[in-house]
Amino acid sequence: LVAREGHPAGSVIDIRGIKLGGKQVQVIAGPCSVETQEQMDLAAAGVAAAGCRMMRGGAFKPRTSPYAFQGLGVQGLEFFQKAARQHDMPIVTELMDVRMLNTFLEHDVDVIQIGARNMQNFDLLKEVGRVNKPVILKRGLSATISEWLMAAEYIAAGGNNNIILCERGIRTFETAYRNVLDVTAIPVLKKETHLPVLVDPSHAGGKAWMVPALARAAVAAGADGLLVEMHPNPCEAWCDADQALTPQELIDLMGSLRLIAQAV
Ligand code: PEP
Ligand code: MN
């Protein structure tokens, strides 16, 4: 179902009127995690000021350590919606557990993110396959493209074709950065599937200063959009502080992307 064959034009996913996979490169930005109402209000203002039309933010966080901040949960969804609504921006947030799916629907989450660690959580994939919401499926930490596409197939098999793939870097022997951004995957995915392709340069590089270069590489290689971490005050971020752009850096990034793709 996700194969390119029979879909010469490629799929365009409609997210409350915003098109992902169309001519415009969409940049979804926001903090790694939802922290406070004030932080989300400032973040939303920064995302909108940079010209981005959708916002990201995690209320349920898949942390490596069980002792690290795990996200605000449902209260985070509320802070997030309140902030994003003021700028009429759809929200993208991670679903980790099938038991929270109804809560996500009740809170009008616009795009459900399936994180890298859950790419092969098949029960979760089956459940999001049954709803009519756009789903961002991140690539697993060490997943091959064919494993990733089979995971997407689980969602499509349930009847939900609103699937967006997100390359976020894969495991590497290299220690100079967090993950290696697989730019090569972009043309492969565009050739093999009709699904829109997003790239997350933040979790790939793991350092804010690397993000603009990786983001430009992704857009130049044909990505349909980006998922970027931005925090109103990165030094104080509760999660992934090293890789968060400042609001001004997001504005600068958007300017540099416009030199590569006319529609950003
Ligand atoms: C995230 O986007 O917040 C995240 C946890 O990313 P990943 O699943 O790619 O590690
Ligand atoms: Mn993060």
- Do 156 and 1 contact (CB within 8 A), yes or no? yes
| Reported ipTM exceeds the 0.95 cut | yes
What percent of the chain shows pLDDT beyond 90? Answer: 99
Region 46-64: mean pLDDT is: 98
Residue 84 is predicted with a pLDDT of 98
CA dihedral sign, ordered 217, 139, 245, 21? positive
Q: What is the mean pLDDT of the chain?
A: 98
CA atoms within 13 Å, Cβ hemisphere of 172: 14
Nearest ligand, measured from the Cα of 242: 2
pLDDT, tens digit, 9 for 90 and up, residues 225-246: 999 999 999 999 999 999 999 9
Nearest ligand, measured from the Cα of 59: 1
Residue 138 pLDDT > 90: yes
Region 126-140: mean pLDDT is: 98
Beta-carbon contacts of residue 85 (< 8 Å; ≥ 6 apart):
none
Q: How far is the CA of 1 from the centre of ligand 2 (A)?
A: 30
pLDDT, tens digit, 9 for 90 and up, residues 103-122: 999 999 999 999 999 999 99
- Do 186 and 218 contact (CB within 8 A), yes or no? yes
Among 221, 196, 201, 231, CA closest to 213: 201
For the chain, give every domain's residue range: 13-258
pLDDT band at 263 (very low <50, low <70, confident <90, very high): confident
Nearest ligand, measured from the Cα of 58: 1
Region 215-233: mean pLDDT is: 98
Q: Which residue has the tokens 């209260």?
A: 75
Number of C-beta neighbours around residue 4 at 10 A: 14
Beta-carbon contacts of residue 259 (< 8 Å; ≥ 6 apart):
none
Residue 262 pLDDT > 90: no
pLDDT, tens digit, 9 for 90 and up, residues 154-172: 999 999 999 999 999 999 9
Residues enclosing ligand 1, CB less than 6 A?
Answer: 32, 58, 62, 94, 115-117, 138, 168, 200, 203
Residue 176 is predicted with a pLDDT of 97
CA dihedral sign, ordered 175, 167, 62, 206? positive
- Distance (Å, whole) CA 141 – CA 15: 27
pLDDT band at 184 (very low <50, low <70, confident <90, very high): very high
| C-alpha to C-alpha distances, 106 to 40, 74, 78, 80, 85, nearest whole angstrom | 20, 11, 11, 14, 15
Q: Judging by DSSP bridges, how do beta strands 13-15 and 18-20 pair with one another?
A: antiparallel
- State which fold the 13-258 domain adopts: TIM Barrel (3.20.20)
pLDDT, tens digit, 9 for 90 and up, residues 23-44: 999 999 999 999 999 999 999 9
Q: How far is the CA of 126 from the centre of ligand 1 (A)?
A: 20
Region 38-53: mean pLDDT is: 98
Ligand 1, atom 9, residue with closest C-alpha: 116
- Do 230 and 247 contact (CB within 8 A), yes or no? yes
Q: Which residues pair with 111 in a beta bridge?
A: 92
Pocket test for ligand 1, best of 94, 170, 228 (most atoms within 8 A of CB): 94
Residue 18 is predicted with a pLDDT of 98
Region 67-79: mean pLDDT is: 98
